[in-house]
Amino acid sequence: MPKLDDVVQEIAHDMRQRHDRGEVATYIPELARVDVNSFGIAVIDADGHVAAAGDSDTPFSVQSITKVFTLTLALGMIGDRLWKRVGREPSGSPFNSIVQLENERGIPRNPFINAGAIAVTDVILSGHEPRVALGEILRFLRFLAEDPSIVIDEAVAASEQRTGFRNRALANYMKSFGVLENPVDYTLGVYFHHCAIAMSCRQLATAGRFLAHLGRNPATGHSVVQPERARRINAIMLTCGHYDGSGEFAYRVGLPGKSGVGGGILAIAPGKASIAVWSPGLDSAGNSHLGRIALEQLTRRMGWSIFG
Amino acid sequence: MPKLDDVVQEIAHDMRQRHDRGEVATYIPELARVDVNSFGIAVIDADGHVAAAGDSDTPFSVQSITKVFTLTLALGMIGDRLWKRVGREPSGSPFNSIVQLENERGIPRNPFINAGAIAVTDVILSGHEPRVALGEILRFLRFLAEDPSIVIDEAVAASEQRTGFRNRALANYMKSFGVLENPVDYTLGVYFHHCAIAMSCRQLATAGRFLAHLGRNPATGHSVVQPERARRINAIMLTCGHYDGSGEFAYRVGLPGKSGVGGGILAIAPGKASIAVWSPGLDSAGNSHLGRIALEQLTRRMGWSIFG
Amino acid sequence: MPKLDDVVQEIAHDMRQRHDRGEVATYIPELARVDVNSFGIAVIDADGHVAAAGDSDTPFSVQSITKVFTLTLALGMIGDRLWKRVGREPSGSPFNSIVQLENERGIPRNPFINAGAIAVTDVILSGHEPRVALGEILRFLRFLAEDPSIVIDEAVAASEQRTGFRNRALANYMKSFGVLENPVDYTLGVYFHHCAIAMSCRQLATAGRFLAHLGRNPATGHSVVQPERARRINAIMLTCGHYDGSGEFAYRVGLPGKSGVGGGILAIAPGKASIAVWSPGLDSAGNSHLGRIALEQLTRRMGWSIFG
Amino acid sequence: MPKLDDVVQEIAHDMRQRHDRGEVATYIPELARVDVNSFGIAVIDADGHVAAAGDSDTPFSVQSITKVFTLTLALGMIGDRLWKRVGREPSGSPFNSIVQLENERGIPRNPFINAGAIAVTDVILSGHEPRVALGEILRFLRFLAEDPSIVIDEAVAASEQRTGFRNRALANYMKSFGVLENPVDYTLGVYFHHCAIAMSCRQLATAGRFLAHLGRNPATGHSVVQPERARRINAIMLTCGHYDGSGEFAYRVGLPGKSGVGGGILAIAPGKASIAVWSPGLDSAGNSHLGRIALEQLTRRMGWSIFG
């Protein structure tokens, strides 16, 4: 077995030099101006040892990766009743498709496409003021990441609010079927803000540890969720975590993972490690191009694939 | 850790007594007349120990489960060029949907929906006579199952030929896009016949061992595929193995698996075991109802989930 | 040739007595409480003679029928450039489908489905204040109907605003593709209000006269549009005027027409008459059930079908 | 009113000189080798006067135009029961789309898309030998065209048989829903052959006369269908006769019409004339490019639009 630190350094070195970096998201200026050459990686093993390289302490916009944590939070609030409002099947469609909603009476296919994450946000909101719900999400992430300095990038949130017409369409569409319970603007406000949370690879990998270790953070001993629930969240990450590139990620990387349009990916090697990578260039399915390649190398060299 | 034999016996006992058995497939008489009360299970662990219970030696129509083996065979023949003719993303659609083909120029989403398996069969056929290709598939299965007595149920094959209009539509549709290279009737002939192969749980679990052990049958030492390929086939089974119920299977069972409309499921616990269950009653997604529940119990009690 | 007045009286008499009246729209209380037994008809022939019967002077919510007049207005403002923002093909979908928009990059199929009418409203708005655009639409309708008393039913408009999530989804969706130029709330505000205009059959039939007579109101001599444009608006009414029941209306009635969910239908017998009927019970495609039957009788008895 | 003969000559002259001629269909060699510069037109007015120009006596492959006549024949055989097996709404899809069939349980949207015409052919076949049904169709066309010399182009029929995978997919798909009653190969054999009938503009215009004159050929006095049925066939031609370009044809030409991929269009000016044009270059919707333009000029100059 190669040494994790060496592998991580070598991967970071290799990624720094590659020219095929994908395309940085351009739909809001805050994301468009991120340096495409950024690359960070942080891996926390079962003993709490952190192997990190590159821009592993630079905060970036986690975007859809928060969907993992809002799902965890909503399951904690209403348990399996959540599955009446969102499915758990891969969608076979891009992240922002509305076609599926029309065919299935407004019930999003899974909590990791935009529509599904909006429905999950609506559950967390559940009649509270948006800032209360947002506070709860932020507190949860700071707790998991063991870092009270995590904040929302307000400029990103404002840009998303201003330009998020497609998400607004999804939310109103679900509202028309009664799938959302709160005022659309409230739910979307919370959604746009939690997508705008900025975290570093180190923070993100720390926050994901409970998923690698049967629902419990082995450092603090805090149980976040029951083991069964941790497994199930991992299962949804594997089948649905990369939009219409989920099959590809499972095939190449072989780990549960969740990507964000900011170029981050959180991946879980059950029993072994929690991993975060960041490279802002995206592939055609909207997932970090080098992030996926780095994870593919890491899993192969460490023998961490869950598939054998 | 509970003893495997005890767990398997208890699961079989429990399954025998349940009344919610799903509905037996009725589209051909040969499947319709199978006894809904049948239940079999066979688990072969890394040491080659077999834990079996119920109708574990009764042959049943494996149907779509052969798709795992034809995929393996086709990858052995043309390697990754296969992926030009079939994708590897979950479909988000029923097993026999044709909509996806229209939207993606005749390229099936993955090798485990009908259209994809027909395309894979076309690769295996590759200019040969249908009976030659069929002979090869049968030989491969007998070799993997270590049992030369495995045969095709000709009555099932004839019924499928006679009534398989939807598969005929899929095949002609792909042919119109140039995705199939052989005469449609040849490809379909082989397809209908390999779906009609009859195997017992014991035979099926034996045939799947290479997927649980890095591509190699630990009993015989025969390497069937490279470790990387075994992992990747497992990944596709996990994301696509149960049609539009693949997410559900991953969520509840947490193992790569492939179901057939005959009520069988092959599941792989990497490094641990190859598992076959059979219960002919199906759920609404066309997967064995009790088969899935039995696997859910087995994984939970043995701690075999790949997700933690 | 039977006498028009007799035919109209007999039809109204027949319609009064029928029990198959369809279902009144219930999505807002203002429409739900309309008496399902209402029936009105008004026919204005080329000489300006009005044959009317039943509740022909009772104002009802014209809803989608205003789409004919907003289309006329928008064509007057920007001419054929309008067709860059909306198509003119039948949709093969329900009135509020969003699937088509996803497949065709946010361009609605025609100006008579909701999405198309919202795009047309956006053209009329063109940077003005909503109340200015709304004033223009109202002025145009009063001018065409030769009746300054026509008003917006503010209770209906307020209800639509409050519950119109699906239209809000459509508008935001188009906005995400850049098809709408004004703030979504402005465009929707105008849209919801012009759908809430209340008119009687007599007013509506008067307003439609220019379409029956080559673009000119024969009574006043006012030219509203060029003859070519009148023909073309009629063509769109025929192919698209009844949502996914357009083929049925053409088949049975044989006249260009436009229905509204309030139960009204405006129909045009070119060269012969402008016709308005009202019966609030709808069929499964959302068109007035008795309204269509009344028009079928009228066309057959008067020999007015455009198809021979 | 301009003189019809002059108008027809001028249009033919104009069309001869145009360079934008569209693209000749290339999916079978027999169509691909037709001269793109061909242009023919024949107009038969109510008195039986024929105005013809260009290649008006050259037989071409009528292709989908026979769908008008097979619909007429099938309605004659089973009347309105036909509408249980095929709809009469515009499809909003290309001529050979299969998506719609999946969404509507195998019932084609209308008799003028391929799936619908195959279902209509199945009705005509109704248990007979294919050659009997084909003989009937051919006899009907010879009778309507008053010309016993009309034949099937066997080379075209053979090519269609050999390459018609998409139609074979549609037919098998409908068969899987029980919409077709005869063996798929029989129905398709008749379908491919009647599409391969060759006719000239003059023959085609003659054959269509009954649709222009309330179901009766004014020359022979033969009643082909009741007036009501002639109107209704015209209505379906208007809403569905040009696939996904039907709205465009209604908008520009303003007459019921049916196009074929061979470049022909049959158009009906009710009460006035039956018209056939032929120009083999197609537009992007698969309809004759110059054929449509020629009809647009003819209708405008003769004032024949049904819309005013």
Tens digit of each residue's pLDDT (9 = 90 or more) over B133-174: 999 999 999 999 999 999 999 999 999 999 999 999 999 999
Q: In this predicted model, what pLDDT tens digit does every residue of A148-182 receive, in sequence order?
A: 999 999 999 999 999 999 999 999 999 999 999 99
Dihedral, D76, D80, D85, D89 alpha carbons, nearest 10: 110
Question: How many Cβ pairs within 8 Å bridge chains C and D?
Answer: 124
Report CB contact under 8 Å: A307, B239: no
- On chain A, the residues whose CB falls within 8 A of the CB of C169 are 98, 168-173, 175-176
Interatomic CA distance for residues B105 and C149, integer angstroms: 57
Which tokens is B27 given?
Answer: 């589209």
Which residue among the candidates C38, C56, C61, C64 is catalytic per the annotation? C64
Of all residues in chain A, the percent with pLDDT exceeding 90 is 92
Distance from CA of D212 to the nearest CA of C (A): 7
Chain D closest-CA separation from residue C186 CA (Å): 30
Of D38, D56, D61, D64, the active-site residue reads D64
By the 8 A CB rule, do A135 and A194 touch? no
Instruction: With beta carbons under 8 A apart, name residues in chain A contacting B239.
Output: 90, 238-239, 246-247, 250-251
Chain A positions touching chain B (beta carbons under 8 Å): 87-93, 100, 109-110, 211-214, 227-228, 230-232, 234-236, 238-240, 244-248, 250-251, 254, 256, 268, 270-271, 300, 305-308
Residues in C whose CB is inside 8 Å of some CB of D read 87-93, 100, 109-110, 211-214, 227-228, 230-232, 234-236, 238-240, 244-248, 250-251, 254, 256, 270-271, 300, 305-308
Q: How far is C153 from chain A (nearest CA, A)?
A: 23
Q: Catalytic residue at D191?
A: yes
Q: What is the DSSP string of C235-299?
A: HHHHHHTTGGGHHHHHHHT-S-EEE-TTSEEEEEETTTEEEEEE--EE-TTSSBHHHHHHHHHHH
* Residue B101 pLDDT class (50, 70, 90 cuts): confident
C179 catalytic? Reply is no
Are B172 and D184 a contacting pair at CB < 8 A? Answer: no
Q: Which residue in the set D165, D166, D176 is minimally distant from B166, CB to CB? A: D176
* D224 annotated active-site: no
**Strands D40-45, B264-269: parallel, antiparallel or unpaired by DSSP?**
unpaired
Q: Which of C34, C123, C190, C261 is catalytic?
A: C261
Classify residue D302 by burial, with Cβ atoms within 10 Å: 0-12, 13-18, 19+.
Answer: buried
CA distance B76 to B124: 10
- pLDDT < 50 stretches in chain D: none
| CA proximity to A291, closest of A264, A271, A273, A261 | A264
Cβ distance B90 to A92 less than 8 Å, yes or no, reads yes
The rounded distance, in Å, linking the Cα atoms of D208 and D191 is 20
Contact partners for chain C, using 3 or more CB pairs closer than 8 A, are: A, D
Active site residues of B: 64, 67, 191, 243, 261
Which residues of chain C lie closer than 8 angstroms to A97, CB-CB? 102
Lowest mean pLDDT of A69-73, A123-127, B89-93, name the range.
Answer: B89-93
Pairing type for strands A273-278 and B40-45 reads: unpaired
Q: Is the model's pTM score more than 0.90?
A: yes
CA of C165 vs chain A CAs: smallest distance (Å): 5
Mean pLDDT of chain B: 95
Q: Do A169 and C173 touch (CB under 8 A)?
A: yes
CB B305 within 8 Å of CB B254: yes
Which of A64, A159, A246, A274 is labelled catalytic?
A: A64
Comparing CA positions, the residue from C63, C85, C65 lying closest to residue C74 is: C85
With contacts defined as CB-CB under 8 Å, which chain C residues touch D230?
A: 307-308
D-chain residues near B173 (CB < 8 A): 98, 165-166, 169
> In this complex, do A176 and C170 lie within 8 Å of one another by their Cβ atoms?
no
**Joined tokens for residue C183:** 């703030």
pLDDT of res. D95: 66
Q: What is the pLDDT of residues A86-134, one digit of tens each?
A: 999 998 776 667 777 877 889 999 999 999 999 999 999 999 999 999 9
**pLDDT in the model for residue A244:** 87
C67 is catalytic: yes
What residue ranges define each of the domains in chain A, with the CATH number in brackets? 4-61+199-302 (3.40.710.10), 64-197 (3.40.710.10)
Q: Which two tokens stand for residue D251?
A: 């908008």
At residue C132, the pLDDT reads: 97
Q: Which chain C residues are Cβ-neighbours of D238 within 8 angstroms? A: 238-239, 250, 307
Cβ distance B239 to A238 less than 8 Å, yes or no, reads: yes
CB within 8 Å: B246 and A239: yes
In this prediction, residue C264 carries a pLDDT of 98
> Are the beta carbons of D98 and B173 separated by less than 8 Å?
yes
Q: Is C243 a catalytic residue?
A: yes
Does the distance separating the beta carbons of B102 and D98 come in below 8 Å?
Answer: yes
> Min CA distance, C233 vs chain D (Å)?
8
Which of D93, D110, D231 is facing C305, going by the closest CB pair?
D231
Nearest-by-CA chain A residue for B296: A228
The residues of chain C scoring below 50 in pLDDT are: none
CB contacts < 8 A (A, B): 125
Residues of D contacting chain B (CB within 8 angstroms): 97-99, 101-103, 165-166, 168-173, 175-176, 184
Interface of chain B against chain A, CB under 8 Å? 87-93, 100, 109-110, 211-214, 227-228, 230-232, 234-236, 238-240, 244-248, 250-251, 254, 256, 268, 270-271, 300, 305-308
A238 contacts in chain B (CB < 8 Å): 238-239, 250, 307
